[in-house]
Structure 1
Amino acid sequence: MIGISIFILALILLLFGFPVAFTFAGVGILFVVLFADPSQLAQIPYRIYANMGENGGGTVLMAIPLFIFMGLILQRTKLAEQLLVSMGRLFGSVRGGLAISTVLVGTLLAASTGVVGASVVAMGLISMPIMMRYGYNKALSAGTICAAGTLGQLIPPSIVLIILGDVLSIPVGDLFRAAVKPGLVLVGCYIAYIVIFCIIKPDAAPIIPLENDDTSRKKALLDALFAVIPPLLLILVVLGSIFYGVATATESSALGCIGAVVLAIIYRKFSLPMLFESANETVKITAMVFAVIIGASIFSMGFSYTGGEEEVERLLLNILR
């Protein structure tokens, strides 16, 4: 059971808080040294180079830093803050309106960034204080933010889907297209849960009092439209070019970067320091993502060389019998 125990050890180390990339790489190397031929470690540079090369999907992986850069530019335009304030005014008269707004804004952020961490941090910093101010239940508020943040794993352009497309040799556009409906269904389930929860426990999400005059409501609607339509058009252009075969994921990500800069100019948030900070943060996040890819490649090598593939095959065959 050496091949299975490699998963158990990796899981234990992850639960203790060790970095994902170094845990995978270290466990893979350790098992090759202890239970296989250590000379096989010489294959590691070739496996890494294969991931970088044309045949290994190197051009597909180029979309990762570009989509991250696009999301960071949109994040620094205060997009999430504008959306949440505008949506909160529209749904404030509905019980649980702020939580529903958080899910909707999280959906738009997921379609903008593709990075879970960025969405969760942004929503936590912006929406959590507002919900606490109006007396929302802490469990409902935190759960809503975490749930909305994880949408970035599924809703395109998801970094996870790009990596899976490269590993499984499946066109990224097909994965994006297939992930849209499940992502929207998940959003609908989140909103339905919030509505039902607020019906059962009305005190968990108080109604926010709003002005009743038509002028303020029209202004709130116009503010919401101005905050939603530009980024929504950018997302439709980026994903639409992929879905209809006009551009590849890498080409559409470059288009998204240009569109994000244009939106920053429209929102009057563009500056050279902001551009430099976004580029610097993109390098950090991209390095982390590619470190995980390299670590996973070494882990899979250790799993394969210690007989893990044969053990899993025997296990599945026994289950079928």
Structure 2
Amino acid sequence: MRVARLMSIDTHISPFGLDKTEGEFDTLDALESESIHIFREVAGEFERPVILFSGGKDSTLLLHLALKAFWPAPLPFSLLHVDTGHNLPEIIEFRDEIVARHNLRLHVASVEEYLADGRLTERPDGIRNPLQTIPLLDAITENRFDAVFGGARRDEERARAKERVFSLRNAFGQWDPKRQRPELWNLYNGRHAPGEHVRVFPLSNWTELDVWRYIAREQVLLAPLYYAHEREVFSRDGMWMTPGPWGGPREGEALETRSVRYRTVGDGSTTGAVLSDAADNEAVLAEVATSRLTERGATRGDDRVSEAAMEDRKREGYF
């Protein structure tokens, strides 16, 4: 079993070809140890935690660390995906493959279902990422989840940089930055009133480069669209978009076959690819190390709406 091999880490090879033997402790080891500690703290403190899992690289890394945290016992949490209905098909296929491989339980909250029965209305711009909030909060309430793991990192975006590792949400699922609690010496306060829940971010202190270094070291399996591949794309607002049920290309937007990869994945109507020839982990590492834009700033149109776009959505209950 793949995870069994990953549990044996006395000796391994770094992505830069250097042998690392037992006893040495580097930045990745420290980050891994912190994340595993957070998973175990939540398991001991909460009754019904759940992991947000979309099949993207950060949630895949989150799941990898969770499996490590409790090996050889089975994972004590289920998974939750808020599906916009506008996901790239490769991501949904990968999500289902991973769930089946590890025999996990997956809850799916469908934006499409909410649109079909009138609980939500399609936005004029066709972007569905902001529509995830209500299905997410409903799923949390219906399943009585009291802790929700997310893969957000502080380096991604300004609002996410304000988050604590344990982030309290009120009975309406809303986030208030003024209610953030101090977190000293890796002590986390999970106290919450009935109806409230806590969002937990074990990857808070990781950077995009850390993520890719760890993926390369551990040989974590990712969805193939994170690596360079040829696909039909069109240029819009400085991003390379994929045509799909979400629409496009528009008049004046020409389809081209390009070598691209995705740095982050989300709603197909607003998530772009980047031109790239990086077809393996080492090449991606080199590319990320020289990038001057964050992955969300470079490829997520919904975060460009305003300077406070993400913070506004987080206050309403978004990831």
After TM superposition, the score normalised by the length of structure 1 is 0.25
Q: Which has the higher helix share?
A: 1
After TM superposition, the score normalised by the length of structure 2 is 0.25
Structure with higher RCO (Cα < 8 A, 6+ apart): 1
**Structure number with larger C-alpha Rg:** 1
